[in-house]
Structure 1
Amino acid sequence: MVVLVTGSGGQLGQALQFIAPNYPDIHFVFCDSTILDITNLNNIKQLFQQFKPSFCINAAAYTAVDKAESEPERAHLINVVGPKNLAEVCKEFDIILLHISTDFVFDGTKDSPYTEDDFPNPTCVYGQTKLDGEKAIQETWQKHFIIRTSWVYSQFGNNFMKTMLRLASERDKLSVVNDQIGTPTYAVDLAEVLIRIIQSPFTHHPSPNTFGIYNFSNEGQSSWYDFAKKIFEYNNIKINLEPIPSISFPTQAKRPTYSVLDKRNIKKVFGVEVKYWEESLKKI
């Protein structure tokens, strides 16, 4: 079985490379943006013809949330045009597409976990482009899995955990917002779930209802302040950590205040066991 992975240089791409040796039956083809430009339809066709994948995991995305406010065209190109191109080529070659989306498709006004059926209402350019990318896939190719996730971190790439560790080495005091609530998701746990979906008998002999949108994050919830507190605790770092409201830390993009995801569907369909975020964080 051949699985082609786009965006191999990002967090999820590197997490998939990290676990790939555990799956000798899968031939992974890892492509960064220099090898596969998802905004280039011909580039995609050439690579798919060459490698003939059964599955494509789209881990490529424009994820600079604040920068997207001043670069909406570039965000649209990578988050909307790119997924549409992949869906078109996947349809042409009958390849199952797994695409990563985000909790930022929601406005954060709920006070209970978001389900796949809740109405999306993005509050920023990044969230809107990710939602538009979902729609482009849905309108193009039936055989897709769109996985919405949240607050992804890992030992790879740039993320909140690594930023906190870096800042703690430079400062004695840090202030972190405590009124945005979500769930930290370990990229390796997300990568394992994608392989679980690929290997599932439900994927190889699917009903029309098997494909579609699924939520996945780790279990539990926290604020960014809670997350930072655990990062320092598990790394035995003593630092003066101060909780602050979001209004004291203005950003270009408006974030959802609450974006915990309901994971019942992915558990039910694929038998996924979800670890609590603290458990995964402690292991890094």
Structure 2
Amino acid sequence: MVVLVTGSSGQLGQSLQYLAPNYQEIQFVFCTSADLNITNIAQCHAVFKQYQPDYCINAAAYTAVDKAESEPEKAHIINVIGAKNIAEVCKAYNTVLLHISTDFVFNGTKKSPYTEEDIPNPTGVYGKTKWEGEIAVQQTWEKHFIVRTSWVYSQFGHNFMKTMLRLASERDTISVVNDQIGTPTNAVDLADALVQIILTDNRQTTTDNFGIYNFSNEGQCSWYDFAKKIFEINKTQIELKAIPTSSFPTPAQRPAYSVLDKSKIKNTFGLSIKNWDACL
């Protein structure tokens, strides 16, 4: 079974590479943006023709949330046009698509975990382009799994955990917002969940499981709680101050609450999901 991964130099791509040796039945093809630029449809066709993948994990995305506010065209080309291109070539080669999306498709005003049935209402360019990318996938190719996730971190790439540890080595005090609530997701756990979806789907002759799924680790916390736990586990001595979002303005508005309900993915694929602090 051939599984092609786009955006393989990102956190999720590197996490899949980390796990790949555990899955002997899968031949992974890892493509960086240099190997496969999803905004170039001709290149997409050429790569798919070469590898004939059974599955494609589209981990390529424009994820610079604040920068997207000043680069809306770039975010649109990657997150919308790129997603549509990948869906088109998946359709041409009968490749099942696993497309990664985000909690940022929601505005964060809900007070209980978001389900797959909740109507997206993004507040910023990043969330808007990711939602439009979801729509493009849905309209282009029926054999898709859209997986929404949140607060992704890992030992790879750039992320909140690494930023906190770096800042702690440079400063005596760090201020972190305590009024944005969500769930950190270890990218390795997300990668493993995607492989489980593929293995389950591959064992079925027909599937009616296609559609949208939420995946993050379990539990919830604020960014302040997340930082506190990072320092606690790492035995880092630092003065950590809790501040409201209003004290830390950013170009893009963050969802105040973006906890995702994982019932659907757990029930459909038999996943057991660990708590965020255990994974940290």
**In which range does the TM-score fall when normalised by the shorter chain?**
over 0.9
Distance 1:275 1:61 in 2: 26
CA 1:131 to 1:236, structure 2 compared with 1: closer, same or farther past 3 Å?
Answer: same
Q: Which residue of 2 aligns with 1:79?
A: 79
Distance 1:58 1:20 in 2: 16
Q: Name stretches of at least 5 consecutive residues in structure 2 with no aligned partner.
A: none
Structure 1 residue 269: Cα displacement: 0.4
Are the aligned partners of 1:8 and 1:60 in contact in 2 as well (CA < 8 Å)?
Answer: yes
Are the aligned partners of 2:15 and 2:187 in contact in 1 as well (CA < 8 Å)?
Answer: yes
CA 1:202 to 1:265, structure 2 compared with 1: closer, same or farther past 3 Å?
Answer: farther
Q: Which residue of 1 aligns with 2:9?
A: 9
Q: Name stretches of at least 5 consecutive residues in structure 1 with no aligned partner.
A: none
Instruction: Please list, as runs of the form range in 1=range in 2, the aligned pairs for 1:3-42 lying within 5 A after superposition.
Output: 3-42=3-42
Distance 2:3 2:95 in 1: 10
Instruction: Please list, as runs of the form range in 1=range in 2, the aligned pairs for 1:33-182 lying within 5 A after superposition.
Output: 33-182=33-182
- 2:261 corresponds to 1:256: no
Distance 2:243 2:56 in 1: 41
Distance 2:45 2:74 in 1: 22
Distance 1:201 1:228 in 2: 37
- Partner of 1:268, secondary structure, is helix
Structure 1 residue 25: Cα displacement: 1.1
- Partner of 2:242, secondary structure, is strand
Are the aligned partners of 1:197 and 1:203 in contact in 2 as well (CA < 8 Å)?
Answer: no
Structure 1 residue 24: Cα displacement: 1.1
Structure 1 residue 9: Cα displacement: 0.4
Are the aligned partners of 2:41 and 2:85 in contact in 1 as well (CA < 8 Å)?
Answer: yes
Distance 2:205 2:181 in 1: 38
Distance 1:206 1:270 in 2: 15
Distance 2:206 2:188 in 1: 25
The number of equivalent residue pairs is 280
Distance 1:116 1:200 in 2: 20
Structure 1 residue 48: Cα displacement: 0.5
Distance 1:272 1:42 in 2: 37
Are the aligned partners of 2:44 and 2:86 in contact in 1 as well (CA < 8 Å)?
Answer: yes
Q: Normalized against structure 2, the TM-score is what?
A: 0.99
Q: Structure 2: which amino acid aligns with 1:217?
A: S
Off by >3 Å, runs of 4+ in structure 1: 201-204
Distance 1:148 1:206 in 2: 23
Provide Cα deviations, 1:78-105, integer angstroms capped at 9, x if missing partner: 0000010000010011000000000000
CA 1:202 to 1:118, structure 2 compared with 1: closer, same or farther past 3 Å?
Answer: farther
Provide Cα deviations, 1:181-206, integer angstroms capped at 9, x if missing partner: 00000000000000000000476433
**Superposition CA RMSD, Å:** 0.8
Q: Which residue of 2 aligns with 1:191?
A: 191
Q: Structure 2: which amino acid aligns with 1:4?
A: L
- Partner of 1:200, secondary structure, is helix
Q: Structure 2: which amino acid aligns with 1:270?
A: F
